[in-house]
Amino acid sequence: MPRSKNQDKMSLISVHVPKKMLEELDELVRRGIFPNRSEAIRAALRDLLYKEVFKTKPPKEEEKEEDLPISLLKGR
């Protein structure tokens, strides 16, 4: 399957999480809140960055992930 434009811009990372946390994450996917683990983790990371780095609320769901002002991270 061809990769989408967004997938080409993404980097693969590995994280270790407690088993219980992974079970809860999988429950969010099972309930259809997120389509997969990666989307759930991206949403959590995006929310953290907005809260702690940009000191603002995360974008609304309909806004694109690419709109994250990563350029503001330079020099930190």
State phi, psi for 49 to the nearest 5 degrees.
Answer: -60, -45
Q: Tell me what pLDDT residue 14 has.
A: 96
Whole-angstrom distance, CA of residue 17 vs CA of residue 31? 20
d(CA 19, CA 22): 5
Give the integer Cα–Cα distance in Å for 10 and 38.
11
Give me the tens of pLDDT residue by residue for the chain, a chain 76 residues long.
Answer: 455 666 568 999 999 999 999 999 999 999 999 999 999 999 999 889 888 887 777 666 655 555 555 544 444 4
Q: Decide: 39 and 19 in contact? Cβ < 8 Å.
A: no
| pLDDT value of position 53 | 84
